[in-house]
Amino acid sequence: MSRPDPRFESPVDRSIREATERGDFDDLPGKGKPLPGAGTVGPVDENWWVRGYVRREGLSSEALLPPSVQLRKELDRIDETCARFVDERRVREHVAEVNSRVVDHMRFPSGPRVPIRKLDADEIVERWRAARAPRPAPRPEPVPEPAPRRGWRSRLRRS
Q: What would the pLDDT profile of 6-23 be if each residue is shown by its tens digit?
A: 577 888 998 999 999 999
> Sign of dihedral through CA atoms 45, 46, 50, 53?
positive
DSSP 148: P
> Nearest-CA neighbor of 75 among 103, 110, 112?
103
How do residues 76-131 score in pLDDT, each as one tens digit? 999 999 999 999 999 999 999 999 999 999 999 988 999 999 999 999 999 999 99
In the chain the first and final C-alpha atoms are separated, in Å, by 102
Residues 95 and 121: beta-carbon distance below 8 Å: yes
Residues 111 and 67: beta-carbon distance below 8 Å: yes
Tell me, yes or no, if the pTM score tops 0.75: no
